[in-house]
């Protein structure tokens, strides 16, 4: 039995009264019910449209599309009414053929170039390249063609905001705003928790649903209240807090021209708290042999106190990584040298801010470079896409090395609070 939230019912009423536009965007906070209702609407609408028309559903990637939309749609309309195959990149919804596409796949724009579409569905539209979206719109050439999309807000300079939302009047464009409190189907405790997971610009965007710029100091609370984040000795801290360092990761950022080599050791505890343990900052041109020796000494120093580690090193430097792997083997170092994942910067920032907001992040006082880097990191004032200033005036190397340490546990660290933590780090 389907039950709509009042906000969702309003939207269904627009459809019933034929008041939808050619382009229909559902935007706003996380968990506000956008995706859920957009799929219901999409299914109802497609069912009323020509059987021989061509339809398309797309997300950043096909896996995202499946995870966010296809499984839910199948749940909503039943497997008899919606079947899909990612391998074939197509599905059938009430007998209509639906093409499936990943907007960020290298050749995706050229693949949709020749099509004539009756309808399109876009998940998380701000993640699409603008040229893909423009091409998609030009493909909606059948009479009565429509597009349905959902998104969270981003920067006010984002192409979707300036070129579409701000021009809604000229464009046959319906823009419906959702906030988290519109989702009356959610458990209030869950809502309280999720509100606590976002701080700063992310709170404004993902909870309040506003298009705001990321500007100024990135780790505001750390910069203002640094002392609250510092500890003298991680092992003593663990004893006093009934916690235990479960994993040790050494993040490595290799220096290029004008940047430093940085080793950062980080501990992740049983309770999913992050402790910056030790660091080595090598601020000069150094030959590979000497760098290998410094790495060997650092791994031994960390192991003597905290035990075995994994190393995550900047994957852009495969030759240097090979050197570290050989050194680790030759010196029998208790570490495994692997590539860093190098996730997107805004995802890394989001995680660090979350850890700070939840009192799950502490830095050993001797990590002076990391402390300085976190206190001084700012958004690039000349850019509007959440870029960190990287002009040599701030210590990006220390931030990179630290973030490489967290990436292997990204999902677990982010989802803390939603699941019991005991079972997660195994």
Exactly one of 21, 35, 175, 195 binds Mg ion (CB under 5 A); that residue is: 35
Give yes or no for residue 150 binding ligand ATP (CB under 6 A). Answer: yes
Question: For residue 328, which of 356, 355, 308 has the smallest C-alpha distance?
Answer: 308
Calculated CA dihedral for residues 131, 134, 135, 141, nearest 10 degrees: 180
Buried-state track 61-94, b at ≥16 Cβ within 10 A, e below 16: bbebbbebbbeebbeebeeeebebeeeebbbebb
| Minimum CB–partner distance for residue 215 and ligand ATP (Å) | 23
Stretch that binds ligand ATP, among 4-12, 241-249, 328-336, 385-393 (CB under 6 A): 4-12
For residue 45, the Cα-to-chain-centroid distance in whole angstroms is 31
Residue 35 or 387: the one with the smaller Cβ distance to Mg ion is 35
Give yes or no for residue 36 binding ligand ATP (CB under 6 A). Answer: yes
Give yes or no for residue 8 binding ligand ATP (CB under 6 A). Answer: yes
- Choose among Mg ion, ligand ATP, none what residue 24 binds, the Cβ cut-off being 5 to 8 Å by kind: none
Question: Beta 309-313 vs 335-339: how paired, if at all?
Answer: parallel
Stretch that binds ligand ATP, among 2-10, 106-114, 264-272, 297-305 (CB under 6 A): 2-10
Question: How far apart (Å, rounded) are the C-alpha atoms in residues 378 and 372?
Answer: 12
Q: How many CA atoms lie within 13 Å of 120's alpha carbon, on the beta-carbon side?
A: 28
Residue 198 or 229: the one with the smaller Cβ distance to ligand ATP is 198
Stretch that binds Mg ion, among 2-10, 28-36, 59-67, 178-186 (CB under 5 A): 28-36
Question: How far apart (Å, rounded) are the C-alpha atoms in residues 24 and 70?
Answer: 19
Which residues touch 235 (CB under 8 Å, ≥6 apart)?
Answer: 245, 305, 306
Stretch that binds ligand ATP, among 14-22, 32-40, 286-294, 317-325 (CB under 6 A): 32-40
| Minimum CB–partner distance for residue 30 and ligand ATP (Å) | 4
Residue 35 or 358: the one with the smaller Cβ distance to Mg ion is 35
Q: Maximum CA pair distance of the chain? A: 74
| Minimum CB–partner distance for residue 372 and Mg ion (Å) | 38
Give yes or no for residue 34 binding ligand ATP (CB under 6 A). Answer: yes
- Supply 151's token pair: 């998104």
Question: How far apart (Å, rounded) are the C-alpha atoms in residues 269 and 255?
Answer: 29
- Choose among Mg ion, ligand ATP, none what residue 164 binds, the Cβ cut-off being 5 to 8 Å by kind: none
Residues binding Mg ion (CB under 5 A)? 35
Interaction site with ligand ATP (CB under 6 A): 3-5, 8, 30-36, 150, 152, 178, 183, 185-186
């Amino acid at each position: 039995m389907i039950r709509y939230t009042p906000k969702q019912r309003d939207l269904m009423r627009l459809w019933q009264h034929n008041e939808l536009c050619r382009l229909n965007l559902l935007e706003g906070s996380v968990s506000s019910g956008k995706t859920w209702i957009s799929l219901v609407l999409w299914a109802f609408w497609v069912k009323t449209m020509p059987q021989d028309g061509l339809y398309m559903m797309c997300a950043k990637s096909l896996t995202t599309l499946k995870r966010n939309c296809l499984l839910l749609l199948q749940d909503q309309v039943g497997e008899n009414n919606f079947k899909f195959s990612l391998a074939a990149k197509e599905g059938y919804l009430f007998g209509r053929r639906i093409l499936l596409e990943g907007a960020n796949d290298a050749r995706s724009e050229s693949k949709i170039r020749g099509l004539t579409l009756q309808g399109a569905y876009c998940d998380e539209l701000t993640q699409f390249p603008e040229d893909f979206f423009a091409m998609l719109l030009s493909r909606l050439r059948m009479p009565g063609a429509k597009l349905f999309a959902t998104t969270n807000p981003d920067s006010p300079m984002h192409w979707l905001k300036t070129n579409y939302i701000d021009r809604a009047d000229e464009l046959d464009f319906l823009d419906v705003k959702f906030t988290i409190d519109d989702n009356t189907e959610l458990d209030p405790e869950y809502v309280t928790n999720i509100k606590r997971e976002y701080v700063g610009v992310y709170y404004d965007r993902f909870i309040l649903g506003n298009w705001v710029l990321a500007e100024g100091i990135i780790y505001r609370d750390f910069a203002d209240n640094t002392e609250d984040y510092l500890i003298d000795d991680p092992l003593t801290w663990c004893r006093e807090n009934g916690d235990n360092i479960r994993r040790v990761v050494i993040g490595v950022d290799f220096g290029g021209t004008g940047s430093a080599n940085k080793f950062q050791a980080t501990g992740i505890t049983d309770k999913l708290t992050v402790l910056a343990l030790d660091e080595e900052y090598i601020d000069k041109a150094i030959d590979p042999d000497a760098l290998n020796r410094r790495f060997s000494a650092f791994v031994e120093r960390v192991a003597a106190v905290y035990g075995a580690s994994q190393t995550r090193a900047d994957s852009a430097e495969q030759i240097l990584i090979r050197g570290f792997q050989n050194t680790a083997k030759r010196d029998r170092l208790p570490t495994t040298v692997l590539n860093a994942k190098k996730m997107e910067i805004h995802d890394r920032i989001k995680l660090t801010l979350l850890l700070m907001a939840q009192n799950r992040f502490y830095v050993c006082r001797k990590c002076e470079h990391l402390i300085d880097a976190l206190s001084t990191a700012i958004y690039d004032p000349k850019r509007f896409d959440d870029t960190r200033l990287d002009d040599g005036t701030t210590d990006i190397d220390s931030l990179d090395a630290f973030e490489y340490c967290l990436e292997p546990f990204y999902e677990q660290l982010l989802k803390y609070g939603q699941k019991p933590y005991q079972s997660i780090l195994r």
